[in-house]
Structure formats: C-alpha cells, structure tokens
Structure 1
C-alpha cells in the first residue's frame, strides 16, 4: 500500500526541471521586459525542447558579461564575436541576429553621418560594454566628448539626453532605437542620421558554468527543433524581424 502511494505521489509531482540562468540588458525588440523579446523567446523555447528551463534576468550588460566570465551565470544574450573572445565565452556559432552602427540626432538637427571624421567635436552617446567595432570603439575611447550610459535601461537614458540636447549624436541599432523611442513617446523628437553600413553577428555566449552539461550544444539542438517545428519563424514574425 505504501509503495502504491509513493508511485501515485511521484506521478502527481514531477521532478523539478533543470534550470539555467541567462542575462542581458533591455534591448527591445531583441530583449524586452517581462521575459519577452525575440532573443529571449528563442532561447527559452529552444531550451525547453531539450528539457531545460532558462531563467532570464535583466542586468547591466557589462555586469552580465563579467558574471559569465566568472561562471556565475550560464549565458549572456546578444554578444558579438569580440565579446566571446574577450570574456572567454563559448558559442555554437548560431547567429540570432545582427547589429549595425546607426546614428540618431535631435529632430531639429540636419547633421548626417558619412565618415568617422563627421563625429569630430560631437558629443556621442553610446552604451558601456557594447562593441561598436574597432574604429568606433577607438574613437569613443579617445574622444573627450563621448558619454557611455550603463544600468538596466541605458538606451532610454541616451534617448532622453538627446531629446534634451545634452548630447549631439546617439549611437545604436536603428530597430532598437526606434522601438524604444516609440515606447516612451520620444520618436518625434529624434531622427535617423545615417549608418556605418557594417553589420556584426549576434550570438548567445555561454560561460563554463556546469560545463559537463554541454549547454551550448543542447541549445543548438533546441534551435534546430524550433526550426523544424516552425516555431522559430513564428517568433521572428511576432516581432517583425527580417532574415539576416
């Protein structure tokens, strides 16, 4: 009788699912609040297909990278090849999007970006920890006018600075800038002012935490499962993401 009861209880209360922790900052529509954003959904759904629950935490991007480097979290979303190399992360080399360097100004400003020299003397707002490619990274490092926002919503901070004429130029991804500005009712106060024209692939970067569980390969398997089921394209369509 006791054995029968134990069997019933084990069937009624399934074992707790294996869980990992992934993190990044808000970068909507890639990474949004309340476990939304197409990168968040792709990652979580991919892991679910292989029996892993992926818990997403919103953290400043630089902090998330440091935690991954120290093996205190399992993965960071939207990392570049340079991030992977610098922070000793792993990736199954599945690009889940692209990043481009796009420039915005106040709607009253007629400035337009053509070459790097156009930024001379301009107060440029960017985000701490983001990789903008060697040329722009070096420019921002040397420029006395550059401002690097941090925190959980750094882009919102930069848009507000541009809106209030505290900076001249905002550097970011056009889809993310447009989405964020529309969300906060600031889209009419800023305008697109050109692009560098170079795209960087974005990956999920995995730490060495619980290395024996091979999470990067299980993630790759999960992404393939989503593609086979049609769920991968459905998530991209939901966020109006074009193929890269």
Structure 2
C-alpha cells in the first residue's frame, strides 16, 4: 500500500503542469528580488492561486519593462504586477478577478503647501516615473506631462530631493518601503500631495501562444478559490 501510494504521488507530480511567470525585481512589498528569489505579497498570491488550480509556478525575476516585453513576446507566460490601461489592453490576456488594488500618490517636497492634486495638475511639470510602470489611464495617456524616466523608484525620489523634478509618482506602499529602506536619506523629505489613480493589478499573460489564455483562465479560477477559502486574506494579513 505504501509503495503504491508513493508511486501514485510521484506520477501525479511528474504530470503536474508548470508555468513560468516573470516577476518584477524592485517593487516591494508586492514583489521584489531577495537574494535570487522573488518575494512579496503578490508573489505569494500568484503562487497560492496557481497551486489552487493544480499548477506549479516558476518565477523569473527581472526589471519590469523587460518583464512585460518578455510576456508580450511569449518568452515567459506572464508578467506581474501590471495595471491595465488602453495602451496595454490588446497586447495581453487578462484574468478575472484582479489580484488587488493599489493607490498611486503624487509626491512633492515636504515643505510643499499643495494638496489634492490630480493628473491635470501635473501637465507641463517635470515628474519622476519608473521605466515601464503604469500610473492609471489618465496619467498614462496624457502627453502633456513631462516624464523624467528612471530605472527604480528610489532614483526618482533622489531627483525630487535634489530639485531636478517637481514631483514624483509612486505606488503608496512601494514608496513607504523605499522611504523605510533609505533612512535617514529620505527621512521627512517628502509628502503626498495628491493621487493619480487606484488601479487594479494583474498578471499580464502572453498573447503570443495559447498558453497565455490557458493559464490566465487557470489563474483566475485559483484566485477565486483562495479568495473564498481564506488563503488570500491570510496572505494580506501577513504583508500588512
């Protein structure tokens, strides 16, 4: 009996589906590279959702712009975390439901007297952004904003501290992680003076081959399952 059970387990493991998903390397606490591995709230959600759907997931960690390009070309099956907008909508397959929502703030120097700014207020201004990131439909499609592009959020905040840009835009929890990591460099230097959006975040699945649609459906099913069985809430609580 024990031998038979062992053989059954080995057989099921051998036939388990495996998918390769690209994870961005510098978006803590949602997703980032720690040592050689992807770690973060979104990583745990992706892993558990696929597990619930009977799929093993392998992560490749890389900068976000490359992550999205590799998903688009089909070199990996998907990339996360992506905020859908009209410029991306037709290039990828999207799952249902979304993984989570995240607020995007507009940051200025701490001595700013401004508040309640929106996207329109950024027109004609120098604004630090990170390469390839989405900041909400209204921001992403507005050509009047002067974007100062950086490879990491921390570099945008350094530009803001040095007065090289007037604003920086960043996801709130990510900005908080940057500020915490770079104490005392950033201590007390910035304040949120508005927001651009609070988008839903997704895995952007490839359209370059049928695996994208197949695994998008499986991921959506698994995500719904962990939202119902309490695993999703457990992950959220772990990353508060």
TM-score band by shorter chain is 0.7 to 0.9
Q: Are the equivalent residues in 2 in contact too, given 1:125–1:170 (CA < 8 A)?
A: yes
Structure 1 residues 173 and 213 mapped into 2: Cα distance closer, same or farther (>3 Å)? Answer: closer
Q: Which residue of 2 aligns with 1:107?
A: 110
TM-score by length of 2: 0.80
Are positions 1:45 and 2:43 aligned together?
no
Are positions 1:85 and 2:123 aligned together?
no
The 1-side partners of 2:117 and 2:88 are apart by: 29
Alignment of 1:152-231 (within 5 A): 154-185=152-183, 186-196=185-195, 198-208=197-207, 209-211=209-211, 214-231=214-231
The one-character-per-residue Cα deviations of 1:107-134 (angstroms, maximum 9, x if unpaired) are 3444445354543554210122222344
The one-character-per-residue Cα deviations of 1:88-107 (angstroms, maximum 9, x if unpaired) are 21122211122433111233
Aligned length, in residue pairs: 229
SS in 2 for 1:136: helix
* RMSD over equivalenced CA pairs, Å: 2.9
The 2-side partners of 1:110 and 1:213 are apart by: 48
If you compute each CA radius of gyration, which structure gives the higher value, 1 or 2?
1
Structure 1 residues 159 and 51 mapped into 2: Cα distance closer, same or farther (>3 Å)? Answer: same
Are positions 1:147 and 2:145 aligned together?
no
SS in 2 for 1:188: coil
- Structure 1 position 52, deviation (Å): 1.8
- Structure 1 position 157, deviation (Å): 1.7
The one-character-per-residue Cα deviations of 1:52-81 (angstroms, maximum 9, x if unpaired) are 221222222222222111111111112222
Q: Are the equivalent residues in 1 in contact too, given 2:127–2:166 (CA < 8 A)?
A: yes
- 2:60 corresponds, among 57, 62, 72, to 57
SS in 2 for 1:204: strand
Normalized per residue, the structure richer in strand is: 2
Q: Which residue of 2 aligns with 1:98?
A: 101
